[in-house]
Chains A and B, each alone.
Chain A
């Protein structure tokens, strides 16, 4: 019996070793080819962009690159945003990231600290790349880890018919005008409310796009010297303003579990008069309701504020895996996407703003609202202080939960901000 047990143990042991080896082998790094010998190289590029662009458009851009660089093939790994994030988190953890990765600024700090993505500053220096053409770079400890390829701003969307029906003639530009307009729209009755505030904690980006946007629009900041400063008068004022909107009953009900897509849907259906949303959703809204009469405008600022307005943005950023054997080829591809001509083309089809300062998106055949938004963007400055912070999503979620306590009357604004400050301080060292 003992012999039999030993044999069985050996068999299982051998199987385990084989399986582990097989698993390890299967988890090998992305690209293929021998760069050293000058042979063809295949770069894997994981991103969510292809899924959000018109069918086939991104493939054309990639084909052009391959035509110009016959020795470099690019294999697109396209998936929705959430899936891409999950795959990259897993890949970063196991050091098996694809060669080139689409990045959100909120992920960069964690990936950089893990050593999963490479320091692009070194690659740019090695390639004598002119960094002055870049609109922005996302850095961690003075080294660039992500370059925004296309930026999407989050202006105020206004349903002009609802505004007119409520007797409001001008699009609000200040907080008090916004509150007044929201009250009047909500007074129309039925299911119509003035504003939508998505605070779902599964994807808590409502904190960034719909709450902190009020702060940034008035030139405020939630950080001081890179450290959290949530108890500052600016943040307090913004949160108190959101609370005042809630107290006035102008926020669409269900906001505590409302998702971004619910917000867009309610605006498209005429159930909310105003929302702060990505410019990328203009086409979606037009597809959903072609006759909706809406406009985009700058996010209202504090009464009396005359300075430049920060406008929230999100980016399609790009980075390179630290474990790839083809860093030079990967950077060549990054350079290509950020070149003036390609970047202009990409930002045009994406309805976003270019990562290359010299690139000019073509608004001629598009919706005039893109031009309006571009003007707003140029008059102010892009603001998103969550970019580059560690555990960004968790910071948003912590703040979100405290804000929910405020809105449900379970905590004061001061208490919520103090607790958020404590929580953030333990993360941002």
Chain B
């Protein structure tokens, strides 16, 4: 319709303008599409430098022979992985890590939930709850180094734990909790439980406070008892938080290094050797960076599997 009014002489110019306008729109569209990447670029640069590059390097190292200490390493295929996976110490550390993280996570959850419910109850007064809240959160305020020192002292054969157990008649003579291969793993696990439960407690307390009282009232009107309300209301409402935190805790605990290293160094007789301490010894004691890299990649794969479940669970929410 409008084309009838167009001056034929001006037609080529109009077409050119249209072409330029289209190119401009295209450039404009491209620029618009790149804007988000522009905003993301600092983060992407940091992630690349701090995460992608080191991870790729470590994966590369794991496929080379005696990398780093050898100036001219050669490609070794899966030899390092075969060496690590057939190493009795690695398998022992895998077993120890499984015990350590599963017991720690379950205990964190049970203790955290118990204390959170206690702090959420209407039976205690405000001041009492505030005092308990401070006391219960204390372990979370200490750094791992302090926790390791505290528990080394407490678990010393002449320490407080033995003294108390002796006094109440549970022990006749001192036990070297960290120095005995039978008790060492349980002792470091106990220290880890002590240091980690407050995080569960605080998170679950926040979640508990978010559960509507109407649900409890409705359940009570349906004639449920306390246990049924706990299972069908409390636990059911907390389920997403519990699953998220449990998966996160499994990942974090599997990477626990400082506590083990400072308390037992993986001993005695590898009783507390974890994947983290095994990898560290391979790299910084034996200078076997290739096998250390292979071990690190295996740990990465295991934790990636856990992370996968975490992400899937988050999506479901």
Interface residue ranges, A against B (CB under 8 Å): 4, 8, 11-12, 15-16, 18-20, 22-23, 85-86, 89, 93-94, 110, 113-115, 191, 199-203, 252-258, 262, 271, 391, 393-394, 397, 401, 404-405, 408, 410
Contacts and interface: CB of A to CB of B under 8 A. Distances in A.
A199 B262 CA distance: 13
A16 B53 contact: yes
A212 B189 CA distance: 33
A254 B178 contact: yes
Contact of B179 (A202, A255, A410): A255
Contact of B45 (A19, A85, A203, A256): A19
Nearest to B266: A201
Tell me the dominant secondary structure on chain A's binding face.
helix
B179 A391 contact: no
Interface of B: 33, 37, 41, 44-45, 48-49, 52-53, 68-69, 71, 152, 156-158, 174, 176, 178-181, 184, 261-270, 281, 283-287, 289
Contacts of A23: 49, 53
A18 B286 CA distance: 33
Contacts of B178: 254, 257
Contacts, number: 109
Nearest to B158: A191
A110 B176 contact: no
A254 B267 contact: no
B269 A408 contact: yes
25 contacts: A15-B41, A18-B45, A86-B284, A89-B284, A110-B287, A114-B71, A199-B268, A200-B264, A200-B267, A201-B266, A201-B267, A202-B261, A202-B267, A203-B265, A253-B176, A254-B176, A254-B178, A255-B179, A256-B176, A256-B179, A257-B176, A257-B178, A271-B158, A391-B285, A394-B286
Nearest 7 A/B pairs, CB to CB: A202-B265, A256-B268, A254-B179, A253-B157, A254-B176, A191-B158, A201-B267
B261 to A, nearest CB: 6
B146 to A, nearest CB: 15
A15 B264 contact: no
Nearest to A253: B157
B32 to A, nearest CB: 13
Contact of B269 (A22, A255, A404): A404
Given A86-B284, A253-B179, A93 B289 contact: yes
Contact of A391 (B37, B267, B286, B289): B286
Nearest to B282: A394
Contacts of A258: 179
Given A19-B45, A394-B286, A401-B270, A257 B264 contact: yes
B259 to A, nearest CB: 12
A404 B157 contact: no
Contacts of A93: 68-69, 289
Nearest to A4: B33
A221 to B, nearest CB: 24
Contacts of B265: 200-203, 257
Contacts of B52: 16, 19
Nearest to B155: A254
A289 B284 CA distance: 36
Contacts of B156: 254, 262
Contacts of A252: 157
Contacts of A257: 176, 178-179, 184, 263-265, 267-268
Given A257-B178, A397-B285, 10 more contacts: A15-B45, A18-B45, A19-B48, A23-B53, A201-B265, A201-B266, A202-B267, A254-B156, A257-B263, A404-B268
B44 A393 contact: no
Nearest to B89: A401
Contact of A256 (B262, B267, B283): B267
